Homo-oligomer: A and B are copies of this chain.
Amino acid sequence: MERSANALDERSKRVLWAVIESYINNPGPVGSRYVTKKYAFGYSPATIRNIMADLEEMGYLRQPHTSAGRVPTDKGYRFYVEHILEEEIGYHSDFAKTILRRFKSIMQDMESILSETTKTLSALSHYMAMAVSPGPEGVTLRRIELLPYKEDRIAVLILTDEGIIRHHIIKNEFRLSASDLSRITNFLNREFAGYTIKDIKEELINEMIKDKEEFDTLVDRALRLCTEAIETYGANIFITGLTEILDFPEFADIERIKELYRTIEDKHNIIKLIDKIAHSEGVQVIIGTENPIKELHTMSVIASTYKDKDRPAGVVGIIGPKRMNYISAISLVDTAARILTKILEEGGEGWKRRK
């Protein structure tokens, strides 16, 4: 009955698949009899038990306690999603329709779109949804405006190609007049428009401050002013739909909820996760302990990057229990990423109206 440690024959695969599907559809360990009833394999429970014992030995399943049914391990889920990912991922047209309809009515800045996306995504998937806006390296400055605000304040408006808008208030340290500001604005746009925020932040400003002696004081002041506004630029994280997953039996334990809530409230935590996803191609599935965030070891994350000019811009995804409907979740996330990529593409040409 010995079989090589990692090779799964066809029959084992089918049983493993059956166990995982059963477990996803209703919680609680799945037993050998249930599998034989639900899936007509043509084997008796005893045979299935043998196979399940093998699968356990190989690390795909485990027993919560002796004489309970089997439950998939992270390795088991991994097997399951690998097979899903091999298939063509279905474009989720319901989702696409819903979300495009919403966008048509708002047609707002990118971050409003991301916020709407997470809402739609969590409503349709019944899991938590998250989205991350492009970071400094993925955002190209289109226009910067310095406007006189209050007596000693200036409002800085940053408009980007990606449809992200940020405003910022800075002190008018040098008591610059409206016409000064207008001149500075022109200068800034001439110098910096078309560069990414990251480039502006790291290279240009440093460089120009270095040989500032060559410039007149107004330019020097312009650089100092916009430094503060530029430096605060950071990606925004949107997370919605905690209520959606609250009813899953895996959150019957109150400590779990508290832990989860604390984890997502601390958004810096999520950054770690994003890095892992941002530089990979296609839909990423992170199961349980594969997650760098310890608090999410009981959860699965499905995420994908959306792109701008063929470079990864931001991340969109779903967070749910490990026992989640991977097929529909993967399809939803993939669709979301495609839509966001499309919006950015069209945005580059001026956000043409969809027909």
Contacts and interface: CB of A to CB of B under 8 A. Distances in A.
Given A242-B261, A254-B252, A159 B165 contact: no
A145 B258 CA distance: 44
A153 B351 contact: yes
Copies of this chain, complex-wide, total 2
Interface string A245-282: 01100011010011001100100000000000000000
A39 interface: no
Contacts of A147: 143, 145, 157, 159
A159 B155 contact: yes
Contact of A258 (B157, B168, B246): B246
Given A153-B350, A155-B157, A155-B159, A165 B167 contact: yes
A268 to B, nearest CB: 14
Interface string A230-245: 0000000000001100
A109 interface: yes
Query: Looking at chain A's contact residues, is the secondary structure mostly helix, strand, loop, or mixed?
Result: mixed
A352 B243 CA distance: 43
Nearest to A348: B150
A251 B254 CA distance: 9
A246 B260 CA distance: 12
Nearest to A242: B261
Contacts of A153: 350-351
B258 A150 contact: no
Contacts of A109: 167, 169
A350 B150 contact: yes
A149 interface: yes
A152 interface: yes
Contacts of A243: 258, 261-262, 265
Interface of A: 107-109, 142-143, 145, 147, 149-153, 155, 157, 159, 163, 165, 167-169, 171, 242-243, 246-247, 251-252, 254, 257-258, 261-262, 265, 347, 349-353
